[in-house]
Amino acid sequence: MMFANSLTARVVVLCLVPLMFQLGLLGALENLRAQSEADLDRSIKSRAISDAINQLAHDIFDIESMYGHETALVQAAPTEADFKVQLARLHKDYDAIEALIGNDSRRMAIVQKSRNTADEALKLFTALRDSQEHRSADWKERESLWWKLRACAVNIMSEEMIEIGKSEKAQAARSPEVQREFRTKIRQLVFAGAGVNLLLAGLLALYLTRTIILRLKKINENAVRLANDLPLNPPTGGADELGALDASFHNMANALKESVRKEQAVTDNMRDCIFSIDGEGTIMRANPACSSMFKIENEDLVGRRFIDLIETSEIDTAYTFMLTQQEGAEPKNLDVTMKRRDGTTFDALWSARWSPDEKALYSIISDQSERIQAERLKQEVVAMVTHDLRVPLSVMQNFLQFIENGYYGNLNEKGLKFFPGTKRNCNQMLDLTNDLLELEKIKSGMMELDLENTDLAEVVKQCVETLTPVAEEFGLKLEVTAEPLQMRVDSKLISRTVTNLVSNAMKHSPRDAKVQIELKQHDGVAQVSVRDFGTGIAKEEQEKIFERFHQASGSAKQITGTGLGLTICKLVVDMHGGKIWVESEKGKGSTFAFALPLES
């Protein structure tokens, strides 16, 4: 049923209709041609029959002329050979007539009757000839034979035989007229077929135009309307392929509109300003956030030169950035100061990407006022930590060291009791301050790598040697496996990283446990692993273990830390282009490892 309504079925029918008509026309023309050829064959055969009968009559007339009366018979005196020649001619004539007549029983009977009469006449003629030669009969008897012979001669060319000859001759004479009639019919049929073909072609063209071409035109028009964001024409309907195509097109258009609507909703509700700039620097489109950011209506914003929104002192930088993006540079961000309509300025981050197809620079402007304010506040905090905390803590640490060395006399029993805790807390606060400053230094990009050819194994061993006294104090054993390995690294930062990882392992190891440190080379990287046999780290904590101030729960915690060591480790490894990770199972300890590319 679906095939019957399909466009394929209609096209097949449209092709079959003229094809069937053409086949019918060819059949009719072939029938007329066959009739014409059959009539021509009959005409040729009729002429041959008429000629054969005429030849028979001519031969009989010749025989009668030569031997048709007594005097002629005596004068001719035919021999046996002459007689056989005449006899053969007659038989040849009859054979020809019979061959041409074929299966026509009525005519064959007439010819056979004539042939029998001719045979009887030949017998009488033979008797007359023999009696003439031997003079075996008197005149009366011979006269009787002559009368019989003449009667036979008359019956040889009977009325039926003569009628056959006449009818066949008439049939042959009518043939040209019949052939003309056939040719006329063929011409008429050809012209009629051509006319019907033209009519069918017109009807099929009209049908195609109404059912296919117009619908295709409407679908094409819908494509143009969709491209120009105009309402689509109503669906064409129909259960064929064109109807399905049009329905799919409408569904696609609706899906696109819905997608555009959702995308528009996203851009309309974003806090950041999104707009596009043409090659001349003119704003073509802008989302609603631009209006509130620049204190200007979008209608007034579109058509303005983007440079007019840049602080005067930074126009050259912004213009260079825009040209660089148009030339196909990698998308980058630019910190720029922008101005509003009321003259106030704000710090912004400009992200841009040039589209060669659209010939537009798609840009996002983010108001960085809050971020920069937070950065300034953070810098103030760092400065405060540096000057207001670090310096007093350093002085306090030195003072405690002097007390420990006895420069201010000996402590009493109570002083000796509280002195270790005071020193430990002071050192911990100073470590926290130093870690915090170093962390901010790395994150702000103020710290640069001092790369040099270093034996990484020596760095690892020195870290272990430094921490061995502390480990022995807490009953821990440090085991190191490291083969010499030369590579370019910042030895101080890598040493700090290894120290932090080993200290972290010691912190989470129970008394009388061991910590294994291993350096190995594989797959183009140098890998340092630090394994402890503590309580392990839960899976949900492993993803956050490198975040600042995060400490794993449930550890032995023989040694306290600042909560920033692993964060600093990750930043240092990232600066070297490496990777750091943790492998741990609850109750079976943890392995912290980092890998550095050998060719960094």
What is the residue-wise DSSP string for 85-117? HHHHHHHHHHHHHHHHHTT-HHHHHHHHHHHHH
Identify which has the larger pLDDT, 156 or 189. Answer: 189
**Which pLDDT belongs to residue 83?**
63
**In this structure, are residues 350 and 334 in contact, taking their beta carbons and an 8 Å threshold?**
yes
Same domain flag for 500 and 518: yes
Give 356-413 pLDDT, tens digit per residue.
888 888 888 888 878 777 777 777 766 666 666 667 777 777 877 878 787 777 878 8
**DSSP 8-state symbol, 305:** B
380 with 349, same domain?
no
Residues 380 and 347 in one domain: no
In a domain, 437, yes or no: yes
Q: How many domains does the chain contain in total?
A: 4
In the prediction, which pLDDT does 2 show?
A: 46
Which range marks the domain in which residue 340 is found? 267-371
Q: Is residue 537 part of a domain?
A: yes
Contacts for 337-343: CB closer than 8 Å, 24+ residues apart: 337/310, 337/311, 337/313, 338/294, 338/309, 338/310, 338/311, 338/365, 339/309, 339/310, 339/311, 340/293, 340/294, 340/295, 340/296, 341/294, 341/295, 341/296, 342/295
End of a domain among 444, 476, 502? 444
Per the domain annotation, does 191 fall within a domain? no
Burial class (CB in 10 A: 0-12, 13-18, 19+), 554: middle
Q: How many CB atoms lie within 10 A of CB 20?
A: 10
pTM of the model: 0.41
- Residue 374 burial (CB count, 10 A): 11
Residue 333 contacts residue 368 (beta carbons within 8 Å): no
Q: What is the pLDDT of residues 420-446, one digit of tens each?
A: 777 777 776 776 677 667 766 766 666
H or E element in which residue 595 lies: strand 590-597
Domain contains 520: yes
Pick the more confident residue, 281 or 268: 281
**Once rounded to an integer, what is the mean pLDDT over residues 280-290?**
85
pLDDT at 555 over 60: no
Q: List the alpha helices (DSSP H) in 209-227.
A: 214-227
Given 351, 371, 391, which residue is the final one in a domain?
A: 371
Mean pLDDT along residues 325-351: 84
pLDDT averaged over every residue in the chain: 79
Residues 566 and 471 in one domain: yes
CB atoms within 10 A of CB 591: 18
In-domain check, residue 222: no
Strands annotated E in 446-578: 452-455, 477-482, 486-489, 514-522, 525-532
Query: Which segments of 368-476 are extended strands (E)?
Result: 452-455
Residue 1, pLDDT score: 44
**362/382 same-domain check:** no
- Angle, alpha carbons 233-234-237 (nearest 5°): 130
Residue 414 CB coordination number (10 Å)? 8
Q: How confident is the model at residue 579 (pLDDT cuts 50, 70, 90)?
A: very high
**Is 36 inside any structural domain?**
yes
Torsion of CA 219, 224, 226, 230, to 10 degrees: -110
Residues 483, 524 within the same domain: yes
Residues 303 and 397 both lie in one domain:
no
Residue 87 covered by a domain? yes
CATH number of 14's domain: 1.20.120
For residues 38 and 48, membership in a common domain is answered with yes
CATH of the domain at 326: 3.30.450.20
Structure confidence at residue 590 as a pLDDT band (50, 70, 90): very high
Q: Is residue 53, in this structure, part of any structural domain at all?
A: yes
What is the structure's pLDDT at 459?
Answer: 93
Residue 530, pLDDT > 90, answer yes
**Inter-CA distances, 288 with 301, 346, 351, 364, Å:** 11, 18, 18, 13
**Higher-pLDDT residue of 553, 14:** 14
Cα–Cα distance between 229 and 264 in angstroms, integer? 14
Same-domain check for residues 514 and 589: yes
110-124 mean pLDDT: 76
More confident residue, 478 or 217: 478
Give the pLDDT confidence of 39-57 residue by residue, as tens digits: 777 888 778 878 888 887 7
Of residues 479, 516, 500, the one with CA closest to residue 559: 500
Q: What is the mean pLDDT of residues 122-132?
A: 67
Residue 76 has pLDDT above 50, yes or no: no
Top pLDDT among 150 and 35 is at 35
Picking from 151, 178, 205, the residue at the C-terminal end of a domain is: 178
**What pLDDT score does 118 carry?**
75
Both 301 and 420 in one domain: the answer is no
Residues 320 and 395 placed together within one structural domain of the fold: no
Sign of the four-CA dihedral 293, 299, 300, 305: positive
Q: How far apart are CA 168 and CA 219, in angstroms?
A: 72
pLDDT at residue 479, rounded to an integer: 93
Shared domain for 60 and 147, answered yes or no, is yes
**Gap between the Cα atoms of 140 and 486, Å rounded:** 161
pLDDT at res. 520 = 93
* In the predicted structure, residue 85 carries a pLDDT above the cut 80: no
Band the pLDDT of 476: cuts 50, 70, 90: very high
Structure tokens at 455: 């034996």
